[in-house]
Amino acid sequence: MLTLRPYQREAVEAVIASRRAGVKRQVVCLPTGAGKTVIFSELARLAKRPVLVLAHRRELVDQAREKLERALGGRRSVGVEQGAEVANTAEVVVASIRSLHEQRLARVLAERRFGLIVYDECHHAPAQDNQRVLQTLGAFDENWDGTLLGFTATTSRGDGMGLDQVFERIVYKKSLADLIREEYLVPLRGYRIATAADLVRVSLAGDDLNLEELAEAVDIESRNELVARSIQELARDRRSIVFCVNVKHARNLARALNAVGIPTGIVHGEMKPDRRRETLEHFRTGNLSAITNVGVLTEGFDDPGVSCVAMARPTRSEGLYAQCVGRGTRLAPGKSDCLVLDFVDLSELSLVGLPTLAGLPNGIDLEGTRLDEAAAAVARFYDDNPGFEIDPGAITLAEIQRRAASFDPLSRKLDDDIRALTPNAWFSLGAYGLGLHAFWSKTAERNGRPSEVLILDQRQHGQARGKRWRVTLDGRELARFSRLEEAVEATDYELAKRGRVSALSALPQAGWRSEGAPPWLTERLALTPKPEGQFSEAITFEAALRLITTRQYYKRR
């Protein structure tokens, strides 16, 4: 009997409940190392009809068969359909999806009526050839009574095709951060290592970088030597996987690593399977300390002893990056963490690094700090200093803390483009929008309580669709606009229409702004958490309003 972790049990229950609710084509999204084979082995044990498990490469097929046999313990027979192998009467069939040509597929289907089809690494499913196999299996038939269950660590694809072309719903999901926090995966530590390689001439191919141009830019002797020295200095006692751009790059990096005393092998898709297995076995047993690879180890590779991942291959794909890093997150005896080395080249492109996985700016150098601890620290900086933002570019946690401690939200400058548009005293809420205090109505002027006008970027508040900029007056929505400039001009126009008092009150030189904050406002201010020394008892009317607005409306992800 399998012993399932709590989240694995939850995933099994979610799949069963979703199928009972009528969802035939489901996805379970779990990070690498979460034990997806345990989950689909349990589902295979529970299934009343034959089960088909689809994988993408020979190694993954063999690996799935071995794990299923161990997990099922003889309760159901497991067979393989690939090459010369035939599953015969096996109740659980593991097959390479590429091997299921028309004749083979017809034979397999003639012998069985599958009740459960498990698609491992299902982000490949939208490809046309793979959809053809699924169509032949009946997964898209309206009257099909089976279940198609996809497993993936990433719901994104490099070609932009979505899983919704094949699957109906993600029925269960756990993030990398969740499983690290629950101690089912090891924490990640990171270093950001700058190189002199220039990616300015590297173009895009789909959603990622052109690999031929990328290889030419990064496969240079000085960069390869830097990668080798960094692994020697930071990960000498660790077993390391190095992700490369192409085979030539992998060979050159292996040569550089061997030259500094790190025994290194190479694996890639063009190698014969026996040779590849032999190299990986040398790596598992410690004869090799490092492996340089191209593509092969991004999926399905299972070696818990890996404790360093070196990203010598830049990417714009968070999904690909997460898969690479996931090779080092599994628990193993004596293993306390996984070290991730990001090699950062000169580029204006938005590239992925370890901080990206925690929603942090990619320019942060963790300097060996745990990613989860860094994310918690940055969250505290944001909470303690509303309006503070981390500037683009390379920066350490210590420097972020220093800048946050000295940050003054009243010193934030309005963009020149906006300043040129308006005569009014708009102020910046950073990436999240703009604010303005003015007497919008005669009642507001009579009561001495300026209205608060905000223009908020809906994308920063989780709303990606519709017009981007939302204008509110004292919390009530007035209008939405596609462009920020339109929102500012329209609001200024409305203020001017409301009369001379309203129009004058919105100007920077309006007399009320430099007056001392009235008692009702200082009372509100006293209830507002604030960094020490950010304002004094002599604060002006305008400064007090802006500080309160910054605290209340500067929303963070």
What is the total count of domains within the chain? 3
Does residue 373 carry a pLDDT above 90?
yes
Residues 262 and 313 in one domain: yes
Give domain status of residue 460, yes or no: yes
Does residue 363 carry a pLDDT above 60?
yes
pTM summary value: 0.77
Residues 121 and 150 in one domain: yes
Confidence band for 529, pLDDT divided at 50, 70 and 90 = low
Backbone angles phi, psi at 23, to 5 degrees: -85, 110
Give the pLDDT score at 99.
86
Residues 434 and 383 in one domain: no
Confidence band for 124, pLDDT divided at 50, 70 and 90 = confident
Give the pLDDT score at 464.
62
Give the pLDDT score at 413.
84
Residues 462 and 521 in one domain: yes
Does residue 179 carry a pLDDT above 90?
yes
Residues 189 and 323 in one domain: yes
Give the pLDDT score at 556.
41
- Out of 134, 155, 174, a domain closes at 174
Give domain status of residue 259, yes or no: yes
435, 427 in Cβ contact below 8 A?
yes
For the residues 187-204, what does the mean pLDDT come to?
97
Give domain status of residue 226, yes or no: yes
Residue 266: exposure state from Cβ atoms within 10 A (0-12, 13-18, ≥19): buried
- Out of 382, 403, 424, a domain closes at 403
411 against 362, higher pLDDT? 362
Give the pLDDT score at 85.
84
DSSP string, 259-271: HTT--EEEEETTS
Percentage of residues in the chain with pLDDT exceeding 70?
Answer: 94
369 against 74, higher pLDDT? 369
Q: How far apart are CA 89 and CA 116, in angstroms?
A: 16
Confidence band for 160, pLDDT divided at 50, 70 and 90 = very low
Structure tokens at 265: 């092998």
Give the pLDDT score at 295.
79
For the residues 254-277, what does the mean pLDDT come to?
94
Give the pLDDT score at 162.
76
266, 291 in Cβ contact below 8 A?
yes
336 against 3, higher pLDDT? 336
Residues 214 and 121 in one domain: no
Does residue 289 carry a pLDDT above 80?
yes
Confidence band for 460, pLDDT divided at 50, 70 and 90 = confident
For the residues 182-207, what does the mean pLDDT come to?
96
For the residues 238-257, what does the mean pLDDT come to?
98
Confidence band for 273, pLDDT divided at 50, 70 and 90 = confident
Residues 111 and 204 in one domain: no
Confidence band for 298, pLDDT divided at 50, 70 and 90 = low
Structure tokens at 350: 């938005």
Does residue 555 carry a pLDDT above 70?
no
Does residue 409 carry a pLDDT above 90?
no
Domain range enclosing 496? 409-553
For the residues 283-299, what does the mean pLDDT come to?
88
Does residue 369 carry a pLDDT above 90?
yes
96, 82 in Cβ contact below 8 A?
yes
Residues 203 and 260 in one domain: yes
Give the pLDDT score at 206.
84
Q: How far apart are the first and last CA of the chain?
A: 42
Q: For residue 443, give every residue at least 6 positions away whose Cβ sits within 8 Å of its Cβ, in sequence order, or none.
A: none
Report the range out of 214-218, 268-272, 320-324, 531-535 with the highest average pLDDT: 214-218
Give the pLDDT score at 56.
80
Burial 434-452 (b: 16+ CB within 10 A, else e): bbbbbbbeeebbeeebbbb
Question: Of 28, 24, 26, 25, nearest to 11 (Cα)?
Answer: 28
Burial 234-256 (b: 16+ CB within 10 A, else e): bbeebbbbbbbbbbebbbbbbeb
Residues 357 and 445 in one domain: no
Q: How crowded is residue 308: how many other Cβ atoms within 10 Å of its Cβ?
A: 24
- Out of 357, 375, 403, a domain closes at 403
Does residue 158 carry a pLDDT above 60?
no
Residues 325 and 205 in one domain: yes
For the residues 480-504, what does the mean pLDDT come to?
96
Give domain status of residue 1, yes or no: no
Give the pLDDT score at 332.
96
Give domain status of residue 382, yes or no: yes
Residues 326 and 249 in one domain: yes
Report the range out of 93-97, 104-108, 443-447, 489-493 with the highest average pLDDT: 489-493
Q: How far apart are CA 480 and CA 492, in angstroms?
A: 14
How does pLDDT run across 79-101, given as a tens digit for each residue? 998 888 888 889 999 998 888 88
How does pLDDT run across 12-45, given as a tens digit for each residue? 999 999 999 999 999 999 998 899 989 999 999 9
Give the pLDDT score at 58.
74
Structure tokens at 519: 């008692």
Q: Output the domain CATH number for residue 375.
A: 3.40.50.300
Percentage of residues in the chain with pLDDT exceeding 90?
Answer: 69
Rg value, the chain, Cα: 29
Block residue for tokens 């190189």: 195
For the residues 165-186, what does the mean pLDDT come to?
94
User: What is the β-pairing status of strands 427-428 and 433-438?
Assistant: antiparallel
> Residue length, the chain?
557
Q: How far apart are CA 301 and CA 297, in angstroms?
A: 5
Confidence band for 557, pLDDT divided at 50, 70 and 90 = very low
Give the pLDDT score at 159.
47
Report the range out of 121-130, 157-166, 334-343 with the highest average pLDDT: 334-343
Residues 56 and 83 in one domain: yes
